[in-house]
Structure 1
Amino acid sequence: MAGLGFRTLLALAIGLAAALFSLDALKANVIDQFAIFTSDAAQYTPNQSGICHQVPALSPSNAAIEQFIRDKTNSPAYHNEIITKLTGIIQIPSESYDDLGPIGADPRWDVFYQIETYLKAQYPAVFETVTLDHANTHGLTLTWEGSVPASEAKPILLLAHQDVVPVLPETVAEWTHPPYEGFFDGEVIWGRGATDDKGYMISVLESIDLLIKAGFRPQRTVILAFGCDEEISGENCGRPISEHLHAKYGDEGIYLIIDEGSVGIQREFGQSFAMVSVAEKGYLDVGIDVSSTGGHASNPPDHNVIGILAEIIKEIEDHPFEGRVTAQNPMFGFLECAAVHAPQSNVPGSIRRALSQVARGNTHAERRLAKELDDLRYYFRTSQSVGKISGGLKINAIPEHASTMINLRLAVETSVATVQRHYEDLIVPIAAKHNMTLEGFNDSPSHAIHRITLSAIDPLEPAPVSPASAEAFRVLSGTIKNTLSPLENDTDLIVTPYLMPANTDTKFFWRLTRNIYRFTPLNLVHNLNRAHTVDEFIRAAEFVREPLFFASLVLNVDDLVDS
């Protein structure tokens, strides 16, 4: 064997030195990463200052009025009164349907006249005090004018809605009590709308009624607004109400908006939380239509429009949207609150470490944390649900059209355009495979016989995230702590930002204020107390305390006028 030359030996020496240097660098990097990995958890341990700071309970300055309301809402006689009011309004089946025609033309809207008449009869003092405006006939806006002009003290706006999800006739027999009986069994009030949203609306009205009877006169204007079609997108009442208020108060003309929430008071990680939704996911319905030539079923193509549509649906379901926990998502704030306020043993160290890494923008940690919290996955990713499908007219005829509708709730980090691109990217290869023209979301009609058409219906970008550091949020937090109690044996109720996975009428009010919060002062369990399904209910003991919360909130924001 020939000897190694000088250049070869030199190259080997240089390579060995480089390898040793790389090994040392790798070792140092591993040590650094391990130090970060082990120390990260310490950032999110109980009682960390500056993370999920809690304000103290906030009592209104007018102690006499607050005490009047507390005494009233603690009275068994009052409980009977307010429960009777709720059971009575449940008996009015104010259902809103997807196929409703215009107000004034479709008689199914007329039930909302009954709602208005009922409210006026139950709350004469309120309607004698406020100014009532109608938006598109059935949208109700009640304004209790304050002594200080709105230009100096922006109004507070309390939202609710009069309509309910229809009860399917075939499910009526499954209800423990008839859905529109408004049955009270001594502990629970049963019926459609008990939780969503007539209980909330009655509580808001009760709070104003109590304040009036206590002799309170607001400095800050108080507005109540009740939509008639929140369950079907809000275009008939929610939007007109917002336009009416925007014309009156302008951009950023409202101090605080509060509307129903989807979680309320819950116990997670062994700790009671008051979950205030500071944002909502976006919304999109995607329509997919497949068209081709028909013919006799005795001579079918290898793949007709139904088969192609099935292929598209499978491709979509095989490629769900990625889940990530980002610092942009209000759920990150909730997880921070859990890490520093829940018992340390109930929040795994892996979550604490990941939170610290997510705070630094580590995308791998964002994905890893989403996987670890898979039970909450739809708070961290865009959901997609195939809700409708149709195709074919006759069994012995090749179908010419097939279609589906997919409902999506958009993650806070995404956009309508991003979701549309994702669907187009999935469907382009399928269209090419079957020699079909793809008409994308923004394409002009091609009029091709063999085509796949995509359409976007009711697109809504994710809501702006309302600040959890704002004065309005602090006042809301202090009011929650002053009027509501923790669950089970917990000693404290932690107020935390949260995310609304569905949508409310607040989507029309973004211009009016940045301070939009969605919160129901109840322990909502069993699928929001079974809202939208059989046996919707509300616990009477929790329901009767809601007016104290709303009245105290009005008093507390009024106190700020003097500050």
Structure 2
Amino acid sequence: MSGQKEQHGTGLSSLVARGAVLAALASALLVVVDTPLKSFISSSLDYFSLHVSSSTEYDLSGVCQQVPGLSPRNHDAERFIRDKVESPAYHTEIINKLTRIIQIPSESYDDLGPIGEDDRWDVFYDMEKYIKATYPTLVGNVRLDHANTHGLILTWEGSVPASEAKPILMLAHQDVVPVLPDTVGDWTHPPYEGFYDGEIIWGRGATDDKGYLISLLESVDLLMKSGFRPKRTVILAFGCDEEISGENCGRPIADFLHERYGDDGIYMIMDEGSMGVQKEFDQSFAMVSVAEKGYLDVGINITSSGGHASTPPDHNVIGILSEIIVAIENSPFPGRVTSKNPMFGFLECAAAHAPPASLTSGVRENLGRVARGDVEAQEKVAWLLDDSLRYYFRTSQSVGKINGGVKINAIPELASTMINLRLAVETSVAQVKEHYESLIRPIAQRHGMHLEGFSSSGYDSPEQHRRKISLYSVDDLEPAPVSPVDAEAFRVLSGTIRNTLHPLGKDGSEELIVTPYLMPANTDTKFFWAVSSNIYRFTPINLVHSLNRAHTTDEFIRADEFVREPLFFATLILNADDAVGVDGS
């Protein structure tokens, strides 16, 4: 796993060096690359070159330069795909495919036992059967491998060996969040009916993630039917447990591909994103998440002697736990905008492209100081931003579970809580643990209790065994490495977005701006850091109402956006194929 990569705007000497290298590389490529990729590289040279100002003022004139739309060289395949996605008959066909896969209740549960022992996994056999029955052309032309039974890996072998042209990998997951029986009546349409009302497709998984999965399958199926044959190997991989951490399928898939292709053996990884195309600061943005926040669950157990409630201590374990929770909530992690965070790149794009009045002047005026590492400015910008953005710049903490006591007239002997944290890009699991220990240590001392920290090996005495505060962690995950926005793969992705997607403005005058972004949650990409440095998370639709109400009642996807998703993915595959031989990938 490589370290995090800094975004533009950080390190003056580094920017100069990188800008010179990229400019030289782009110029060299112009000599050997055919049109239209040659034209694409030529017209987007300003984007690849990093703007550096000798002034102490922060000049936005060269920030967030956009590449032009990138059209594939294979005009026949592109025309075939475009004609298809514009066809009303095709709309009916692909919508029907999504509604039918929604009808398979492929729920994953936190308490699932091992695959092969817990029969609740068996629904994923139905998912595989559905894919095979619905896409016979695709399945007949790929190699299908299984990772831990239900992880599906479909490999469309390219004509150029993977050692010479790294494969492109596209991820989706088959599982969905369970629907609580008590909430079924709250749905406008039954969650597993897959109801289509002429505008919207309703049902669990419509957005997260069966719409994405069907779109990937469609894109490859249509390319095959167009007569296209790839030089670069194309891989589709579908996990079975992304909603419950991915250990049963996500990790085995990553291990399988790492064994096959080695470190950094994949050209680009695409997975679902949390924002897609959005209107922010009165400007349409295509928000490509180039990193994810870290993850940590912290458990706190407090034990002490019990007894009869008629003779209680001044503070029992529930009271002490309450004191700890109040201390935690009264000591939130500070917010700070730094250039290490992809969201700084988003703010730069907003400052450069959004209407001036839409972005708070204090934010715009302090971006230069933020880039230079001014802590005061970094904290000020974080404070000025809207509440909807604040947790992109800080570690969040949420007390999610609490337990204590078994009988009203008995002094409880144990109280416990679980706290969920999403770690800011700039922090680490160790720093969060150190913060919690320093916060809780004086409370333990005040109550004469032993503090058993995260790395504690045991107890010092029987008395401390009875009166102690124990800390432990679950699912430790560092913040993801930041994928580069100056990589060839990102430029191909950006050009594809601007060729196939449209801004949300209705008057046609607005430009769609591609920007780096941060994923506040986690996807199966957390297992793939060693496989590729180019990991991008993006859903090519306008996600509204909390990701189209994913994870809650009335999940949906707009049909007019869904039917065009295969055009985006197919075009990305074609453009990535055109890049074979351009940079040795």
What is the CA-CA distance between 1:488 and the residue it aligns to?
2.1
| Letter aligned with residue 496 of structure 2 | T
Tell me if 1:304 matches 2:304: no
1:187 corresponding residue in structure 2: 199
Q: How many residues align?
A: 521
Give the Cα–Cα distance (whole angstroms) in 2 for the partners of residues 491 and 423 of structure 1.
47
2:59 corresponding residue in structure 1: 43
Give the Cα–Cα distance (whole angstroms) in 1 for the partners of residues 56 and 364 of structure 2.
7
Give the Cα–Cα distance (whole angstroms) in 2 for the partners of residues 332 and 246 of structure 1.
31
What is the CA-CA distance between 1:441 and the residue it aligns to?
0.4
What is the CA-CA distance between 1:275 and the residue it aligns to?
0.2
| Letter aligned with residue 407 of structure 2 | K
Alignment equivalent of 1:463, drawn from 451, 459, 480: 480
User: Which is further off, 119-128 or 390-399?
Assistant: 390-399
Tell me if 1:142 matches 2:161: no
2:580 corresponding residue in structure 1: 561
Tell me if 1:283 matches 2:295: yes
Give the Cα–Cα distance (whole angstroms) in 1 for the partners of residues 204 and 447 of structure 2.
47
Alignment equivalent of 1:478, drawn from 495, 501, 511: 495
1:439 corresponding residue in structure 2: 452
Equivalent residues of 2:58, 2:367 under 8 A apart: no
What is the CA-CA distance between 1:466 and the residue it aligns to?
0.2
Give the Cα–Cα distance (whole angstroms) in 1 for the partners of residues 445 and 510 of structure 2.
62
2:555 corresponding residue in structure 1: 536
Give the Cα–Cα distance (whole angstroms) in 2 for the partners of residues 433 and 460 of structure 1.
32
Give the Cα–Cα distance (whole angstroms) in 2 for the partners of residues 347 and 395 of structure 1.
55
Cα-Cα RMSD: 1.1
What is the CA-CA distance between 1:445 and the residue it aligns to?
2.4
What is the CA-CA distance between 1:472 and the residue it aligns to?
0.3
| Letter aligned with residue 439 of structure 1 | E
Alignment equivalent of 1:335, drawn from 327, 347, 364: 347
SS at match of 2:110: coil
SS at match of 2:189: coil
SS at match of 2:466: coil
The C-alpha deviation readout for 1:77-114, integer Å capped at 9, x for no partner, is: 10011111111111111111111110001111111001
Equivalent residues of 1:40, 1:357 under 8 A apart: no
1:18 corresponding residue in structure 2: none
Equivalent residues of 1:41, 1:353 under 8 A apart: no
Q: How does 1:259-270 map to 2 (within 5 A)?
A: 259-270=271-282
Give the Cα–Cα distance (whole angstroms) in 2 for the partners of residues 266 and 405 of structure 1.
34
Give the Cα–Cα distance (whole angstroms) in 2 for the partners of residues 374 and 441 of structure 1.
35
| Letter aligned with residue 200 of structure 1 | Y
2:395 corresponding residue in structure 1: 382
Give the Cα–Cα distance (whole angstroms) in 2 for the partners of residues 501 and 395 of structure 1.
40
1:494 corresponding residue in structure 2: 513
Give the Cα–Cα distance (whole angstroms) in 1 for the partners of residues 283 and 56 of structure 2.
22
What is the CA-CA distance between 1:263 and the residue it aligns to?
0.3
| Letter aligned with residue 291 of structure 2 | A
Tell me if 1:295 matches 2:314: no
Q: How does 1:104-123 map to 2 (within 5 A)?
A: 104-123=116-135
Equivalent residues of 2:220, 2:570 under 8 A apart: yes
What is the CA-CA distance between 1:198 and the residue it aligns to?
0.4
Alignment equivalent of 1:160, drawn from 172, 178, 182: 172
What is the CA-CA distance between 1:168 and the residue it aligns to?
1.1
User: Structure 2 vs 1, CA of residues 560 and 42 (structure 1 numbering), >3 Å: closer, same or farther?
Assistant: closer
What is the CA-CA distance between 1:42 and the residue it aligns to?
6.7
Give the Cα–Cα distance (whole angstroms) in 1 for the partners of residues 125 and 528 of structure 2.
25
User: Structure 2 vs 1, CA of residues 42 and 455 (structure 1 numbering), >3 Å: closer, same or farther?
Assistant: closer
Alignment equivalent of 1:357, drawn from 366, 369, 381: 369
User: Which is further off, 442-451 or 126-135?
Assistant: 442-451
| Letter aligned with residue 448 of structure 2 | N
Equivalent residues of 1:290, 1:309 under 8 A apart: yes
Give the Cα–Cα distance (whole angstroms) in 1 for the partners of residues 142 and 244 of structure 2.
28
Give the Cα–Cα distance (whole angstroms) in 2 for the partners of residues 521 and 473 of structure 1.
15
2:9 corresponding residue in structure 1: none
Equivalent residues of 2:294, 2:479 under 8 A apart: yes
Identity of aligned residues (%): 73
What is the CA-CA distance between 1:40 and the residue it aligns to?
7.8
Alignment equivalent of 2:103, drawn from 76, 83, 91: 91
The C-alpha deviation readout for 1:29-50, integer Å capped at 9, x for no partner, is: xxxxxxxxxx988724xxx1x2
Give the Cα–Cα distance (whole angstroms) in 2 for the partners of residues 401 and 349 of structure 1.
52
1:510 corresponding residue in structure 2: 529
What is the CA-CA distance between 1:353 and the residue it aligns to?
1.1
The C-alpha deviation readout for 1:129-152, integer Å capped at 9, x for no partner, is: 000000000000000000000000
Give the Cα–Cα distance (whole angstroms) in 2 for the partners of residues 229 and 348 of structure 1.
41
Equivalent residues of 1:142, 1:223 under 8 A apart: yes
| Letter aligned with residue 184 of structure 1 | Y
Unaligned runs of 5+ in 2: 1-54
What is the CA-CA distance between 1:395 and the residue it aligns to?
1.5
Equivalent residues of 1:153, 1:561 under 8 A apart: yes
What is the CA-CA distance between 1:452 and the residue it aligns to?
0.5
Unaligned runs of 5+ in 1: 1-38
Give the Cα–Cα distance (whole angstroms) in 2 for the partners of residues 208 and 373 of structure 1.
41
The C-alpha deviation readout for 1:216-246, integer Å capped at 9, x for no partner, is: 1100000000000000110000000000000
1:14 corresponding residue in structure 2: none
SS at match of 1:417: helix
The C-alpha deviation readout for 1:31-79, integer Å capped at 9, x for no partner, is: xxxxxxxx988724xxx1x210100000000111100000000001100
| Letter aligned with residue 540 of structure 2 | P
SS at match of 1:379: coil
| Letter aligned with residue 471 of structure 1 | E
Structure number with bigger Rg: 1
| Letter aligned with residue 480 of structure 2 | A
1:7 corresponding residue in structure 2: none
Equivalent residues of 2:165, 2:581 under 8 A apart: no
TM-score by length of 2: 0.88
User: Structure 2 vs 1, CA of residues 278 and 42 (structure 1 numbering), >3 Å: closer, same or farther?
Assistant: closer
SS at match of 2:99: helix
Alignment equivalent of 1:68, drawn from 50, 59, 80: 80
2:141 corresponding residue in structure 1: 129
Alignment equivalent of 1:452, drawn from 469, 479, 494: 469
SS at match of 2:116: coil
2:330 corresponding residue in structure 1: 318
1:53 corresponding residue in structure 2: 65
SS at match of 2:89: helix
1:408 corresponding residue in structure 2: 421
Equivalent residues of 1:139, 1:237 under 8 A apart: yes
